[in-house]
Structure 1
Amino acid sequence: MMIRPAELEAIRRGEIDLAFRRWDRARVKVGTKLKTAVGLIEVVAVEQVTATSLRADDARRAGHPSLGSLREGLAARADRPIFRVQVRHAGEDPRVALRESVPDAEELATIVAGLDRLDAASPIGPWTRETLRLIDANPEVRAPELAERVGRPAAEFKTDVRKLKDRGLTESLAIGYLLSPRGEAVLDHLDGPRERAPRRAGTPLPRTIGAAATRALRAADLHTLEAVAGWRRSDLAALHGVGPLALDRLATALAELGTGFAD
């Protein structure tokens, strides 16, 4: 179930708790916990409804300014039934804590055995070590560029990286990936320790600001929220690619850290 970044933020803040979708059948089940950029989103209820049963309160709870806006959003694929999905923010993604956990010798053996199983089940042959090495050598590089370097379709490459992420070995950024401390420990165990540039101190830029804003901030050497907090909103707005929506999401993220823009 795809949820737009703005909706994810609103769900996390408790401003939205409904989503409406045109599906041929229910695509989520009650109790499902979706891993998203803002943490876990839990599916609380799913029911098929009719267009005539929709009310203004449904629109408000789904983040629409009016009932007409909700109906307009559901106009496409009118041959499919409408499903009303109730959701809630269910806390932090457990992979966040996992990726900071450096495994001991016994756990390393278990992780490596899991990588071996992924390799054995893959139609393209072993890929896990190559992908870990690729991300380690190319932090913050776009997934399509990484996929091209190893001659793989980008969609398939991203799917496999998510398997590593589920094991706490990689971290997804607004653009590109990083090896987590856990992933670095696993790769060092496999290949031997290596020197790396120091990890950036601070809070990563929120993935919800979008690729254009992320590229603009990185170009200005702003890679963390703490660095962004040293700038005035008006100066950030002057950066090509940093629009009002990205600024609002940065402001929200800064507020959660107990700070804000320099002005």
Structure 2
Amino acid sequence: MLIRVDDLERIQSGAVDTAFRRWTRPTVKAGGTLTTAIGMLAIDAVDTMFAEGLSLADARRAGFDDVAGLMAWLDSGKAGTLYRIRLHYLGEDPRIGLRESADDLEAVEAALAKLDARGAWTERVLRLIESHPGRLAQLLADEMGLEKLKFKGKVRQLKALGLTESLDIGYRLSRRGEALLARRRTIASA
């Protein structure tokens, strides 16, 4: 579920606690979380709605002045079933703390081994990002011989372990990612 940065800031401040989307099927579920540019959001409820049932209170909780504004925004997007998502700001993205920590690299190695179980790729992606920080994802994907979306999915898995950081363009290794590769180099040279 994509949310614009200005809407995220209003969710973080508590001014907005509702979002509306048209989907063929929901991409979030009640009780789940969503990692965003401002941190973690908690998904409190996901309910199907009929456009005729939208109220002024619904529109305002979603940051719109009126129902007409909400409907105009919804009509400019995808077709599908209308969903009302209740959410709130949960806190900072936990990956930020991981990125700065070089602790427990054995657990990271174990997690990487699981990712590599069906074909080794993690070290190659880490070394590629290390060699080319800030390079377009498409160029990195081409170098790996992967489609861009598949490559980005792999980077997200590394990011979840605190090993990489997204930049405006491309990626870079986090402190943790650098420490992991340095550890591997030390072990390899011993």
TM-score for both structures, normalised by structure 1: 0.66
Q: Deviations over 1:102-124 (max 9, x none)?
A: 12xxx323322221221122xxx
SS of residue paired to 1:25: coil
Structure 2 counterpart of 1:111 = 108
User: 2:139 matched to 1:145?
Assistant: yes
Instruction: Tell me how far 1:174 sits from its aligned partner.
Output: 2.1
SS of residue paired to 1:192: helix
Instruction: Tell me how far 1:192 sits from its aligned partner.
Output: 3.4
5+ residue gaps, structure 1: 194-263
* Equivalent-residue separation in structure 2 for 1:132 and 1:27 (angstroms): 29
Greater mean alpha carbon deviation, residues 58-67 or residues 177-186: 58-67
The structure, 1 or 2, with the larger RCO (C-alpha pairs under 8 Å, 6+ apart) is 2
User: 2:124 matched to 1:130?
Assistant: yes
SS of residue paired to 2:150: helix
Instruction: Tell me how far 1:38 sits from its aligned partner.
Output: 0.5
What is the 5 A alignment of 1:245-260? Answer: none
Instruction: Tell me how far 1:77 sits from its aligned partner.
Output: 5.0
Letter in 1 for 2:45: A
* Equivalent-residue separation in structure 1 for 2:169 and 2:115 (angstroms): 25
TM-score for both structures, normalised by structure 2: 0.89
What is the 5 A alignment of 1:213-252? Answer: none
SS of residue paired to 2:91: coil
User: 2:5 matched to 1:5?
Assistant: yes
Structure 2 counterpart of 1:21 = 21
Q: Give % identity.
A: 45
User: 2:82 matched to 1:85?
Assistant: no
Structure 1 counterpart of 2:40 = 40
Structure 2 counterpart of 1:253 = none
Q: 2:160 aligns with which of 155, 166, 177?
A: 166
Letter in 2 for 1:146: L
More strand by share: 2
Q: Deviations over 1:143-200 (max 9, x none)?
A: 112112222211111000000010111111222111111111111111239xxxxxxx
Count how many residue pairs are aligned between Structure 1 and Structure 2: 186
Greater mean alpha carbon deviation, residues 23-32 or residues 154-163: 23-32
Letter in 1 for 2:126: L
Greater mean alpha carbon deviation, residues 9-18 or residues 84-93: 9-18
Letter in 1 for 2:121: W
5+ residue gaps, structure 2: none
* Equivalent-residue separation in structure 1 for 2:78 and 2:168 (angstroms): 31
Q: 1:161 to 1:77 in 2, by over 3 A?
A: closer
